[in-house]
Structure 1
Amino acid sequence: MTVANLSEQLFKPQVDYPETSSLIQRVDYNYINYRHTLDGENDRHWYRVLNRLLWHWRGLSLIEIEAVLARIAVSDKKKSNPQWFDTIKGYQSGNWIYEFLSQANEWQQQANLLNQQSSEQAVRTRRHKYHLTASQYASLSSYPHYRDDKLALQAQSLAYRYYQQALDDSPYDYKILSFNVAQQRIEGILHLPYKGQDSACPIVLLCGGLSHLQFDFYPYFSQHLAPYGIGLLTVDTPGIGQSARIKLTQDSSIVHQAVLEQLPTVPWIDHKRVILAGFRFGTQIATRLSYLAPDRIKGLLCFAPILHQLYVDTKLQAYLPIMFRDLLADRLGLTSSSNQYLAAELCYYSLKYQGLINKPCSVPMMSILFDQDLLCSESDAQLLHSTQRHQRLKVASMSLQKNLDKAFIQSSRWIASLIGKTA
């Protein structure tokens, strides 16, 4: 199916489309008031956790986001759950996927109105911004990216296409790479700091969270890595995006480990200077891989690490919003779940119980912690020991946006220092 036909199909209302929150059948429900910088805010009127701060960090307008949310909230169409605004049945106005994908389409149309053949820098810059914004809204329409959410998966296809169009007009170069993982072929995106780059450069291999698609981190590359001449390689975690066919198991690093082993065959990557960066659940993947393959890793960066306590503490798991519990069930390949069953499964993901972080690791480490973070206690970061050095940075809740930016800046400086780079 061509992109044009796919776009036309997606923007037509469909009343028989299964609603996202109904895809996972839960035995037990309980509402918990939850809010965190990297996770978002759990509102009792929404099934999805609203992560305005990171959506804005990804380049989306808060005013525009609120306008879309308002259209969803005021809809009087039939819902799967009357308590939640974002559970409109069918692909129609008021439905989450419909509204955010419509917003993506508006930005894509603006990009298409520009001269697609023009090489003028001002035109290319505008096209880049419009395509990038369209890709982020298409990604947001798919959120939380469930494996069996068929229309959301089609929205992801558009998001990937819009993102590649944005990269075509980017001031940086990129390559779409293919990797063999568990008898599957997955695609990753290598972001290179220079146009027409023909030499190998150091890279950050990103391990995103369970609710992130691989192209949600473009600002981290463009603002914090590219100025140092550092590339970014993104691949989706098991159970999501390009890795959707790979089930999440206690061998959570299976995708990134396979990619790491194949990096010596990629001519644009200096495979001897690879930094692992994990975000939230992705820190479990990145840390696990650092212990399994320390000779291939130059450094480990953990944003709000979740390594042990959440996986074994049922009282702490009770603070997880319903969407997060459904998301875990989805990544595990389940269509139904309960708190008791999830608790039994999650304990296998504790890196302490796996016997990995009970001993020092030879990889230099940096952990970024956040005030009032229920899911990432400081004790998790203290479980990490490096035979070289382990730097910890605490982000204060006051002036959060400013301090978050400082954390990104300091992390990129730390990465650059490991590989001998200067801005």
Structure 2
Amino acid sequence: MSDNLSESLFKPQVLKRETSTLSNAKASQLQVVPHSTHGAWYRLLRRQLWAWQGVPALGTEALLSQIAVCQKTRTSELLDTVAGYQPGNWTYEWTQRAVHHQTKAKLAAEEGNSERAYDQHRIAFHCASIASFPHYRGDDSAASAQVIAHTNFVSAVAHHGTIYRQIKVPYEGRFISCNLLLPDTDSVKPVVVVSGSVDSIQSDYWPFYEKFLGPAGFAMLTVDIPGCGSNSRWHLKQDSTQLHMAVLNHLKNVPWVDSERVAMLGYRFGGNLAIRVGFLAPMQLKAIITIGSPVDHVYSSVQAFHDLPQMMRDCLANRFGEDSSYEDKLFYSARSLSLKTQGLLGSGKIQAPVLAMIIEDDELCPAQDAQLISSVSRCCEMKTLKNTQITDRLSGALNEATLWLQKHL
């Protein structure tokens, strides 16, 4: 991390644009929604997920309380909309916490305590990712936080003993940057390409490898969706898998993985992409796994789309390069993400076997989407996950996914 960046992270900057205003011209009109599951916050508070990733829960609650009681100017009624990069601002507070753990990690490394250095770097990169969340293009403070996240991610992986390679895939005169994780380089490994939700970045999926795929002997390659993270220079559009196709075509040039044994695991929106790749490039994938992945309803139903939390609609607008205040235009763009609208669902069968995991009473991937997914492959296994705590649900899903991959990859 450069000295200039480090200095800017600690120096408040009152004139920085507030995140909720970046993709919504009407952000100042946002109000607390009574009885809402996300309360008085703009961002979706993924407490359980963050705890599952290893971020200490008590520290999270203390930090959220600090943001909530801040008396500085906000751009709306919502608690996490403190304007400027300064105390009380979401990105500022989480960045300070990330740097705090980074400092602890460096001290541990100097003392020769690699295990503690790993643990502190891991907390640091997750905190930095939360600082950037929901990772809007055009958010300079979030972009700086992503640099901290990546720096600490690389350090954490090194202390963990996992082999890391950054894969640069040439595309349209630039490069798609992917993280490749390997248990060793003694032999080429079957590789699982992982992509996630519209509000996540690559480092968020480290637990997928650390706890499940790595111990099973798989390599894991993460790819940001278009419009997000390292792929923010490209807009999301109907051809949503353009970057993933380029990555898959490039795998034959990566010496550490077996390009003939490739699976794709998609969490939430990433599963939509995985199914699309399965239809468009049937010879590229040996297996596909989706977890709670919306393929039609939320993109084709006006009411379902309107019922999405404001942050999720803003997030899609940001990925498309649009303004969510133009609701009709945004819905029209979102319709292009429906695999049914694209004519893929019902048009044929994916050759690769599919394991589709559906979350009970899920608003993003309801029963009608589950029915559509069940028919995408001649070998499609459906699994319903109980709507319990995400820590149990996600761990159970990934454990089952790993066992399934060992049979099919």
Q: Corresponding residue for 1:42?
A: 38
1-structure distance, mates of 2:196, 2:397: 17
Q: Corresponding residue for 1:14?
A: 13
Please say if 1:281 is aligned against 2:269: yes
2-structure distance, mates of 1:33, 1:350: 31
2-structure distance, mates of 1:141, 1:399: 23
2-structure distance, mates of 1:406, 1:142: 28
Q: Corresponding residue for 2:328?
A: 340
Q: Corresponding residue for 1:397?
A: 387
Q: Corresponding residue for 2:358?
A: 369
2-structure distance, mates of 1:32, 1:9: 35
Give the one of 316, 338, 344 matched to 2:304. Answer: 316
Please say if 1:136 is aligned against 2:126: yes
Is the contact made by 1:56 and 1:62 (CA closer than 8 Å) also made in structure 2? yes
3-state secondary structure, aligned to 1:383: helix
Distance 1:29 1:315, change over 3 A: farther
Is the contact made by 2:38 and 2:45 (CA closer than 8 Å) also made in structure 1? yes
Q: Corresponding residue for 1:221?
A: 209
Aligned residues: 405
| Alpha-carbon distance, 1:199 to partner | 2.0
Please say if 1:147 is aligned against 2:145: no
Distance 1:408 1:300, change over 3 A: same
Distance 1:223 1:136, change over 3 A: same
Q: Corresponding residue for 1:177?
A: 167
Please say if 1:235 is aligned against 2:229: no
| Alpha-carbon distance, 1:182 to partner | 2.9
| Alpha-carbon distance, 1:26 to partner | 4.2
Is the contact made by 1:174 and 1:190 (CA closer than 8 Å) also made in structure 2? yes
2-structure distance, mates of 1:400, 1:245: 31
| Alpha-carbon distance, 1:34 to partner | 9.0
Distance 1:247 1:302, change over 3 A: same
Is the contact made by 2:165 and 2:181 (CA closer than 8 Å) also made in structure 1? yes
Give the one of 245, 252, 256 matched to 2:244. Answer: 256
Give the one of 53, 57, 68 matched to 1:58. Answer: 53
2-structure distance, mates of 1:323, 1:51: 13
Is the contact made by 2:291 and 2:356 (CA closer than 8 Å) also made in structure 1? yes
Is the contact made by 2:267 and 2:290 (CA closer than 8 Å) also made in structure 1? yes
Is the contact made by 1:207 and 1:256 (CA closer than 8 Å) also made in structure 2? no
Give the one of 193, 203, 211 matched to 2:191. Answer: 203
Letter in 2 for 1:72: I
Please say if 1:25 is aligned against 2:24: yes
Letter in 1 for 2:333: E
| Alpha-carbon distance, 1:14 to partner | 1.0
2-structure distance, mates of 1:235, 1:320: 25
Q: Corresponding residue for 2:146?
A: 156
Taking only aligned residues, the RMSD between alpha carbons, in angstroms, comes to 1.8
2-structure distance, mates of 1:330, 1:105: 27
3-state secondary structure, aligned to 1:262: helix
1-structure distance, mates of 2:145, 2:96: 11
| Alpha-carbon distance, 1:352 to partner | 1.1
3-state secondary structure, aligned to 1:187: strand
Give the one of 327, 341, 346 matched to 1:353. Answer: 341
Deviation string, structure 1 residues 315-370 (Cα, Å, up to 9, x no partner): 11121011111111100012453221211111111111111121211110011111
Distance 1:400 1:199, change over 3 A: closer
3-state secondary structure, aligned to 2:43: coil
3-state secondary structure, aligned to 2:225: coil
Q: Corresponding residue for 1:3?
A: 2
Q: Corresponding residue for 1:76?
A: 71
Taking every aligned residue pair, what percent have the same amino acid on both sides? 34
| Alpha-carbon distance, 1:32 to partner | 6.2
3-state secondary structure, aligned to 1:349: coil
Deviation string, structure 1 residues 231-254 (Cα, Å, up to 9, x no partner): 100121101111010111101001
Give the one of 254, 259, 278 matched to 1:290. Answer: 278
Q: Corresponding residue for 1:406?
A: 396
2-structure distance, mates of 1:150, 1:398: 36
Letter in 1 for 2:350: C
Distance 1:242 1:34, change over 3 A: farther
Letter in 2 for 1:353: T
Deviation string, structure 1 residues 67-105 (Cα, Å, up to 9, x no partner): 110110010111111x11111111111100110001101
Unaligned runs of 5+ in 2: none
Select between 50-59 and 70-79 the one with higher mean Cα deviation.
Answer: 50-59
3-state secondary structure, aligned to 1:202: strand
| Alpha-carbon distance, 1:25 to partner | 2.7
Please say if 1:87 is aligned against 2:81: yes
| Alpha-carbon distance, 1:206 to partner | 0.7
1-structure distance, mates of 2:215, 2:201: 23
Select between 402-411 and 138-147 the one with higher mean Cα deviation.
Answer: 402-411
> TM-score normalized by structure 2?
0.95
Distance 1:352 1:32, change over 3 A: farther
1-structure distance, mates of 2:33, 2:72: 26
